[in-house]
Structure 1
Amino acid sequence: MHNSTKIDTRFKRRPAAPSVTLEQVSFAYPGEQIFRSLNFIVKGGQWTCLIGPSGCGKSTLLRLISGTLREGLSGRIHFSDGNNYKGLTAWMSQKDLLLPWLSVVDNVCLGARLRGEMTAKKRSIAMSLLEDAGLGEYANVLPSSLSGGMRQRVALLRTLMEERSVILMDEPFSALDALTRLKLQDLAARLVEGATVLMVTHDPLEALRLGHRIYVMTDRPAKLSDALIPPGSPPRNPGDSAIISMQATLLERLEGRDNS
């Protein structure tokens, strides 16, 4: 698996995707401060990775940006094109949330079905994505027939089918075996080209493969490191010497030995 500039033509090319800016954002659950005066920019049209210890607020940050969590929030979250993206971001949570009564292919097409936009072309695209993900033979079965890793692949494809300009993903590859993970990372990198992506991961190498920018989040109240910017464009070769070297730097930041 290596860097590829191949453009996936199944989806139309996206218009310029907006940046997401957080200004002086504070947020607390009852009795626990998660963020205090946090400033952060997710660059438009780039893949930003967020890595840090469990429970530091990474998933909460995704929910705040998506608009699904607002109570207890102060500060400002806005998009550079001035649009309100509440309900218009593609969101993949840690749980796959597949609908158990729908077939695998109908779960992948769920957004289009709910909006009344389902077409033969969209179903054909969904089928081709399932083939790419090694799930073609399972297109017409129910999710209960799938393993955890297979269900996660279906959830990822459902997210990618939405063709949104802003995509939020919470550990989308965590349940996959190593080879499947590389394959799906490559597929996702092609399909989200040009979108604004914010992904939470616990895997430093995954962040270095996919991220244009990588931030380390510290424990509560959370702070963010300076951006780590790997060379080249994603998806990168995990065996590249520069990526291996940067992995050591990223691990130092995670361990608190680098205060950048």
Structure 2
Amino acid sequence: MTKPLIEISDLYKIFGPKPQSVVDRVKSGQSKEQILAETGHTVGLKAIDMKINKGEIFVIMGLSGSGKSTMIRHFNRLIDPTLGKILVEGVDVMELSSKELEEFRRQKMSMVFQRFALLPHRTVLENVAYGLEIQGIAKADRHAKAIEWMETVGLKGYEKQYPAQLSGGQQQRVGLARALATDAEILLMDEAFSALDPLIRSEMQDQLIELQQKLHKTIIFITHDLDEALRLGDRIAILKDGELVQQGAPDEILLSPADDYVEAFVKDVNRARALSVENVMQPPAYRITATTIEEALKQMKGVKQDYAYHVTDEGYQGVVTRESLIDAQNDEQKDLEQDIYEEVPTVSADSFIEEVLPESLVSDYSLPVVDEEGNLQGELERSAVAEIFTDSTDEQSTTNSSQNGDLSKDKEKSPAS
């Protein structure tokens, strides 16, 4: 098993004059409010354990005061923990000297801030090249590299502009280009898109996903927005009052919330927009591998339903039914050919349910999930698609029933009834 790139173990952060003096209170389970009232200390993080894999987008989310921004500042030791370990590629960053820590920050991690943090008196080009300047890269080389990254994030032609001349979205692109230009393996993004207009924010999310497909950076992304977390994250960690309440893949968070707090987060999420076909598809139940009608009919005898997926060495071919095979045999057709297949669209495992919802609802058959090479990966059942809406529908029905029941009782008590 591949070792995680970053490991956080039993991490505590307590703000106040004597944080060590209240560690035992925190460990014994005293509440954040009680500790603040009795000691004047604030619990920022409590018993955090995280493992972050190389090349993934790991999202840390929570409401204001949950500890997510405190957490991200521990990775590059902008904040030192009260207790716990922070390992990056097996190196305990708490043991780094001041000089080693400075080099670690320059070479290993880059940060993208919510409010852009650009230098107003420097041009866009100089801002993008700033991290390289700090690294001691020659001017011509750092400018050449900065121009490459500006083109990558869509800022070609803005080299001589100043930050104040740019829109919010363009300023954040400068910040992103600056972070990427240093070639740091780990990218820290603290509410990087939250100050942007919704449309620009969506465009920046798209660009980050597109860049990640090429760059495979390890990205730690902070947000308070669950829709953003679900869209970007390979895995998500949810914090509440400094504690980690759940972490997992987006579909795990969405379909299996750990407690009422997480459930409150996910209840209003558009599941069809957040879940992919891969999250809900099943292995294909029945395959036919025959090349002739006669062989196919023999194989269909072992099929409980009246259709199956025809798969050959060349990959997925189509959906065949028992009835169509019998008709073909009656017409003295020998081989399985194109005209025997039902008109059933294929879908990709990467597609979101929202994209394939119309096809899944009108098809008489489960939709075949086929990859780019033509391999049959699974099937998307209509019932599986319906189930992702069940919880919210059932909850609404229960609420409505309860309300209707209360209304009935009120009518019984009413003199007019």
Q: Same fold (TM over 0.5)?
A: yes
Q: Which residue of 2 aligns with 1:225?
A: 246
For CA contacts below 8 A with separation 6 or more, give which structure has more relative contact order. Answer: 1
Change (3 A) 1:41 1:17: closer
Is the CA contact 2:69–2:222 (under 8 Å) kept in the aligned structure 1? Answer: yes
Aligned letter for 1:24?
Answer: D
Is the CA contact 2:235–2:247 (under 8 Å) kept in the aligned structure 1? Answer: no
1:23 aligns with 2:9: yes
User: Deviation at 1:80?
Assistant: 3.2
Separation (CA, whole Å) in 1 of partners of 2:187 and 2:351: 20
* Higher gyration radius (CA): 2
Change (3 A) 1:153 1:32: same
User: 1:66-215 to 2 correspondence within 5 Å?
Assistant: 66-70=76-80, 72-82=81-91, 84=93, 86-87=104-105, 88-117=108-137, 118=139, 119=141, 121-130=144-153, 132=154, 135-192=155-212, 193-215=215-237
1:13-39, CA deviations, whole angstroms, 9 ceiling, x for partnerless residues? xxx995211111110112101112221
Is the CA contact 2:114–2:195 (under 8 Å) kept in the aligned structure 1? Answer: no
Aligned letter for 1:196?
Answer: T
1:33 aligns with 2:43: yes
Change (3 A) 1:17 1:41: closer
What RMSD, in angstroms, separates the aligned Cα atoms of the two structures?
Answer: 3.0
User: Deviation at 1:236?
Assistant: 7.3
Is the CA contact 1:205–1:238 (under 8 Å) kept in the aligned structure 2? Answer: no
Is the CA contact 1:48–1:198 (under 8 Å) kept in the aligned structure 2? Answer: yes
Is the CA contact 1:18–1:45 (under 8 Å) kept in the aligned structure 2? Answer: no
Which blocks of at least 5 consecutive residues in structure 2 are unaligned?
17-40, 94-100, 252-275, 280-349, 358-384, 393-417
Is the CA contact 2:47–2:243 (under 8 Å) kept in the aligned structure 1? Answer: no
1:63 aligns with 2:86: no
Is the CA contact 1:48–1:213 (under 8 Å) kept in the aligned structure 2? Answer: yes
User: 1:243-258 to 2 correspondence within 5 Å?
Assistant: none
Which blocks of at least 5 consecutive residues in structure 1 are unaligned?
1-15, 250-260
User: Deviation at 1:115?
Assistant: 1.8
1:34-77, CA deviations, whole angstroms, 9 ceiling, x for partnerless residues? 1122211122221111111111110110001111111x521101
Is the CA contact 2:85–2:92 (under 8 Å) kept in the aligned structure 1? Answer: no
Residue range with higher mean Cα deviation, 143-152 or 210-219 = 143-152
Aligned letter for 2:66?
Answer: C
Separation (CA, whole Å) in 1 of partners of 2:149 and 2:218: 22
Change (3 A) 1:186 1:147: closer
Is the CA contact 2:60–2:237 (under 8 Å) kept in the aligned structure 1? Answer: yes
User: Deviation at 1:111?
Assistant: 1.0
User: Deviation at 1:107?
Assistant: 0.7
